[in-house]
Amino acid sequence: MAIITLTTDFGEKDHFVGAVKGAIYSELNDIRIVDISHSVNPFNITEAAYIIQNAFNSFPKGSIHIIGIDSELNPENKHIAVKLDGHFFVCANNGIMSLIASEIVPEKIVEINIHDRIETNFPVLDVFVKVACHIARGGTLEVIGKTIQEIKHLTDIKPVINAEESQIIGNVIYIDNYGNVVTNITRKIFKDVGKGREFEISARNYKFKKIHDRYSDSINFTVERHKREEDGKKLALFNSADFLELAIYKSNPQTVGSASTLFGLRFRDTITINFIA
């Protein structure tokens, strides 16, 4: 049974997600639909890419991933279907695939060309569903599009490394449900540039000189519980996706606050790492 996943910025209130699922089931009875997220901030390609990049590999090869972010067709925003690492992606050619495929070369890319057969102002429902169901039936990409060699690339959200390799300037690319702040600085970039040197991470007025592997590593469990510093404990770590993250131990944005609110950090804000020679 084929799997089709959905990632959109549609939210849960409106009819859009239900309509897309209904259209898929109308095309295919024997299908599984999995929601990855419908809570992506509107038109936030970077946020969507982070979510999909860290979810799709948990699905079996051959899974089809519909991405409904900034998908309106126009001369500068064509539609594509991409085979990548054994998975299929159906989305707009708006740069999102360059972020998802930052370290993997796509196996095949086609620019979808079935629009003349479909009258639509809701391309995720009418075009993306048709393409995804075609793939799920075992259809080839060449039937629904013409092969292209390149996808649109986004380069403005990559970390900047100075010529002396003494500094990395990164940006906030995602704020999770706990209010933790995820940057675009990966463990690999940190190691390649840092080469084992001491460092200082700067985020507004906050400084960090240590990076943890787990949230609880910031807590000294040899100290009696009532004497420990736990609440509001600030920490930096490489998260499960190997991105540098700034966090508050056991934070809750609705009550005690979070890294985003307490540090005053939002999407695209700057995080700097200075290495000490």
What pLDDT, on a 0 to 100 scale, did the predictor assign at position 119?
Answer: 76
What pLDDT, on a 0 to 100 scale, did the predictor assign at position 122?
Answer: 92
Contacts of 250 (CB under 8 A, 6+ apart): 215, 230, 231
Q: How far apart are CA 250 and CA 229, in angstroms?
A: 12
Q: Which residues of 53-71 are buried (b: 16+ CB within 10 A; e: fewer)?
A: bbbbeebeeebbbbbbbbb
What pLDDT, on a 0 to 100 scale, did the predictor assign at position 268?
Answer: 93
Contacts of 33 (CB under 8 A, 6+ apart): 3, 4, 5, 6, 21, 24, 25
Per-residue pLDDT of the chain (277 residues; tens, 9 = 90+): 899 999 999 999 999 999 999 999 999 999 999 999 999 999 999 999 999 999 999 999 999 999 999 999 999 899 999 999 999 999 999 999 999 988 789 999 999 999 888 777 899 999 999 999 999 999 999 999 999 999 999 876 789 999 999 999 999 999 999 999 999 999 999 999 999 999 999 999 999 999 998 887 766 666 676 665 655 688 999 999 999 999 988 877 877 789 999 899 999 999 999 999 7
What pLDDT, on a 0 to 100 scale, did the predictor assign at position 117?
Answer: 82
The phi and psi torsions of 264 (rounded to 5 degrees) equal: 70, 40
Please say whether the beta carbons of 44 and 13 come within 8 A. Answer: no
User: Is the pTM above the cut of 0.95?
Assistant: no
What pLDDT, on a 0 to 100 scale, did the predictor assign at position 195?
Answer: 96
What pLDDT, on a 0 to 100 scale, did the predictor assign at position 130?
Answer: 96
Residues in the chain: 277
Q: What angle do CA 257, 263, 269 make, to 5 degrees?
A: 125
